Structure 1
Amino acid sequence: MAEEVSNYENMTDLACEKIGGHVLFATDDWFAPAENLLKYEDPVFKVGLYTDYGKWMDGWETRRKRKPGHDWCIIELGMPGIIKGVEVDTAYFTGNYAPKFSLQAVQLKHDDEAKFPSRQIDAMGTECSDEALALVKSMKTENWQELIPMTPLTAGYINTSRKFFKINSDKVYSHIRLNIFPDGGIARLRIYGQVLHKVDFSIKEEIDLVAMKNGGVCHSYSNAHYGHPKNLICPGVGKNMGDGWETARRIDRPPILQADERNILQVPGNEWAIFRLGCIGKINKVHIDTNHFKGNYPDSAKLEGGLLKNGVIDWKIVLPTTKLSAHAIHEYHSEDMLHFGPFSHVRVTIMPDGGISRLRIFGQPIQEHPEI
């Protein structure tokens, strides 16, 4: 059944290229390669731009099929996990969208992953070879678990392009098969879910407790006008401002700004984001990274930690309000902190507004969340 975007906006897109999702196989990439499905950025349309193969489109678009069958592709998720929802977006595919689609999934072992044929980096204008098709067909991917049966899609206009589907499953999947019937285009495919990272508590190693790859997830936030706070816990270094959390400018900021003796601006408002850690842990070190945010970094930030009990979080200050600077990694150690945990959640507050690229919460894992 169709769902609302608000049900999934905080979840991890398990298939996104930013966290390692990639295409292993596609039957056809004539007008636009399947890799476009996994882009983090929203699709765009470029008027009058054509390639040697036809109109340039920001999505996956196959040729008009002139032989039996239908088109499909295989995607390896960047992080295996439990799939909670799916978004299929046909943006800008108006007379050329795929009329129907279905979705299947499986959890593969590493040895099975190695069986897929190598894929051309820039596949535009190509279709799979007979040898590659025969090899993938031998893997019987058509027998993978069906998550969404054959379902109609609609044209890629503003009010009709995005479709959301709830997935009722507690299984962990690593790969998906996207089928389109019989051909056409889809702009983006989002696979929303929960990364399941099993911590070995017998090994006393420090990890990034909030990292997406370790099961951290954005719980809630106050404002995400220019960039969602879940970007803060993505792998790697932010590639630009759009790859971080950036809020709108608060309209309650004073007409004339004043600072205290520590040069921290005195403002009435702030913005915040809450994250559930991948497991309950004790904090040793914190990184707040304002990479790329040069004229729009927050003046200051505060970090709190809390342990969820009976549906309530008792917040304690980890890092008191501290001055930030532009385009820099701010590193804090135990001597800078007031409380260390154990915590199940953290809340980062920025004053008055602005952008942060990454948040790292390094610490010692203690136990799984009780509800897992």
Structure 2
Amino acid sequence: MMDFPKEGTRIRIPDFTQLIDMASESVGGKVLFSTDDFFAPAENLIKSESPMFKEHEYTEFGKWMDGWETRRKRIPGHDWCIVKLGVQGIIRGFDVDISYFLGDYAPRISIQAANLEKDKQPEIPQRGLRTGSAATPQEFEAIAKLKSNNWHYLVPMTELKLGKPASSHNYFAVNSLQRWTHIRLNIFPDGGIARLRVYGTGQKDWTLADPKEPLDLVAISSGGACVGFSNALCGHPNNIIGVGKAKSMADGWETARRVDRPPILKNDENGILLAQGCEWAVFRLAHPGVITQIEIDTEHFKGNSPDSCKLDGCVLTTHEEEIMMRRKWILPVHKWKPLLPITKLSPNESHSFNSLTLELQDVITHVRFTMSPDGGVSRLRLKGYPSSICLLRPREKPSLRFSVKPGFRENL
């Protein structure tokens, strides 16, 4: 048996599942190659929705399954596939889901990764419809140019464990801080996997950005992340800095109705609802910078959008962020600088505002989005210009490497 590195470890209740699924088809993930797709194609691995089971449905090749399932191998070797990540960056963990594959799941897996430059990626044949087929010699020849056998192991060969039929997850933590663009999922020797989730944070090459064009500094695809919040009834706040437009309310962040809201509601002279409480989320920017434009989208939230919101920013080092997380983000008032004053919001509508930093030219690292009194938001975009200044203390490393700590469970 091969000697595999001992990096991947199984954990029970992972915080990394609150991060973006970097391989999902919804963010541009793509299956480049699979050795075999006889019963069900590898494209099912990266579907955004949860797997389903159709008890009495069959295809001409066998039982219909919502996952990737290879034929029972009768030749030497094992099956594997390669996925190009839609969001490229730092991988924090995997979910290898074998739901509904009760008697046909792959008994063992390993996962490798590579960081491939765009101009060095070979031409890979389009896959098309794959059910009932296996990779051709031409496809094997093309994919061999990637030399995926030599990619870095993030999860060594590990046995998979069955859980509940409809919820059979195998979680693996990853400690690597390297940027990855592709992964290779190996199954030993054959079988089925329902879904493969690759959780992590995006990492953008800011040196390639046009200095004249404003960028979304909080985008999760570039490395932005929620590092604390007050409430999340439906959907994690990370959803609102996700890729593209929200597909539904489930793709946004919605809080519970506050129980301290007044029995009879009233407005102030500006039409803002008078309410004591509020809900909030703090985000670390993907890169320190000056925010010039704010976009807040309440699409899909037609009867449950916030009445109003505001946005504040501050500058924190990585050490200070850790302290604030332990203190539940009770930050001194003077630290927060207003980026958007209290502003009325409308249901199911996209709102655009100029940030106050347009005049102040303040560089910030973190923002606090506050909604009043409660409700749901689908997207938050903070466009501006990245700054090259160093914000860490002299004794620390002279660069900002931001990442979501697995320990931010205390904020969940």
**Which residue is equivalent to 1:173?**
180
The answer to whether the Cα contact below 8 Å between 2:291 and 2:357 also exists between their aligned partners in 1 is no
1:214 matches 2:235: no
Number of residues of Structure 1 aligned to a counterpart in Structure 2: 371
User: Does residue 113 of structure 2 align to residue 96 of structure 1?
Assistant: no
Contact preservation (8 Å) 1:92, 1:156: no
Alignment of 1:69-218 (within 5 A): 69-120=77-128, 122-137=129-144, 139-157=146-164, 161-200=168-207, 203-218=211-226
Q: Work out whether residues 122 and 142 of structure 2, in 8 Å CA contact, stay in contact via their aligned partners in 1.
A: no
Residue range with higher mean Cα deviation, 55-64 or 21-30 = 55-64
In 2, Cα distance between equivalents of 1:128 and 1:248: 49
1:286 Cα deviation from its structure 2 partner: 0.4
Deviation at 1:11, TM superposition (A): 2.7
Q: Which moved more, 1:279-288 or 1:346-355?
A: 346-355
Q: Which runs of 5+ in 2 are unaligned?
A: 1-8, 325-330, 393-399, 402-412
Q: Distance in 1 between matches of 2:254 and 2:37?
A: 35
How has the CA–CA distance of structure 1 residues 24 and 160 changed in structure 2, closer, same or farther, with 3 Å as cutoff? same
**Given the superposition, is the C-alpha separation of residues 94 and 238 from structure 1 closer, same or farther in structure 2, using an over 3 Å criterion?**
same
Cα 1:252–1:37 change in 2 (3 A) is: farther
Assess, with a 3 A threshold, how the Cα gap between structure 1 residues 207 and 336 changes in structure 2: closer, same or farther: closer
- What is the CA distance between 1:305 and its match in structure 2? 1.0
Match of 1:229 among 230, 233, 237: 237
Residue 238 of structure 2: SS of its match in structure 1? helix
Equivalent residue number for residue 276 of structure 1: 284
Counterpart position of 2:61: 53
Q: Distance in 1 between matches of 2:73 and 2:212?
A: 56
Q: Cα deviation per residue 1:242-269 (whole Å; 9 max; x = unaligned)?
A: 2222233334434433322233222333
Decide whether the 8 Å contact of 1:10 with 1:220 is kept in 2.
no
* Structure that is richer in strand per residue: 1
User: What per-residue deviation string (whole Å, max 9, x for no partner) do you get for residues 15-34 of structure 1?
Assistant: 22222111101112223221
Aligned equivalent of 1:330: 351
Deviation at 1:336, TM superposition (A): 10
How far did 1:8 drift?
0.6
Confirm whether residue 18 of structure 1 aligns to residue 54 of structure 2: no
Comparing 262-271 with 236-245, greater Cα deviation is found at: 262-271
Structure 2 distance, partners of 1:8, 1:32, is 28
Aligned CA RMSD, in angstroms, stands at 2.5
- Give the CA deviation at 1:307: 0.9
The letter of the residue matching 2:137 is D
Instruction: Name the CA shift for 1:159/1:328 in 2 (closer, same or farther; >3 Å).
Output: closer
Range with bigger deviation, 232-241 or 278-287: 232-241
| CA shift for structure 1 position 290 | 1.0
Q: In the alignment, what sits opposite 1:358?
A: 379
Q: Deviations over 1:92-133 (max 9, x none)?
A: 22222111000011111224433322211x423332223212
Query: Shift in Å at residue 323 of structure 1?
Result: 1.4
Do the aligned partners of residues 109 and 238 (structure 1) sit closer, same or farther apart at CA in structure 2, a change above 3 Å counting? same
CA contact (8 A) 1:206 1:362 kept: yes
Q: Decide which of 63, 70, 77 is 2:71's aligned counterpart.
A: 63
The answer (yes or no) to whether the contact 2:316–2:365 under 8 Å persists in 1 is yes
Specify the alignment match of 1:317 in structure 2.
338
Contact preservation (8 Å) 2:20, 2:242 = no
1:303 equivalenced with 2:311 (yes/no): yes
Aligned mates of 1:62, 1:253 — CA distance in 2: 55
C-alpha distance in 2 between matches for 1:284 and 1:11: 26
Contact 1:319 1:336 (8 Å CA) reproduced: no
Corresponding residue SS for 1:212: coil
Decide whether the 8 Å contact of 1:97 with 1:185 is kept in 2: yes
Residue 241 of structure 1: aligned partner? 249
Alignment counterpart, residue 362 of structure 2, candidates 319, 325, 341:
341
Per-residue deviation at 1:338? 9.1
Q: Deviations over 1:284-327 (max 9, x none)?
A: 11000111221222222121111114505622222122211111
172 and 352 in structure 1: CA distance in 2 versus 1, 3 angstrom threshold: same
Report SS of the residue matched to 1:150: strand
Distance 1:334 1:317, change over 3 A: closer
In the superposition, relative to structure 1, how do residues 355 and 53 fare at CA in structure 2: closer, same or farther (>3 Å)? farther
Partners of 2:291 and 2:358 within 8 A in 1: no
- Report the Cα offset of residue 335 of structure 1: 6.3
Percent sequence identity is 50
Partner residue, 2:35 = 27
In structure 1, distance between residues paired with 2:196 and 2:136: 24
Q: Deviations over 1:52-83 (max 9, x none)?
A: 43333322222222333221100011122122
Aligned equivalents of 2:123, 2:74: Cα separation in 1: 29
User: Contact between 1:320 and 1:338, CA under 8 Å: does it hold in 2?
Assistant: no
| C-alpha contact (below 8 Å) 1:101/1:150 kept by paired residues | yes
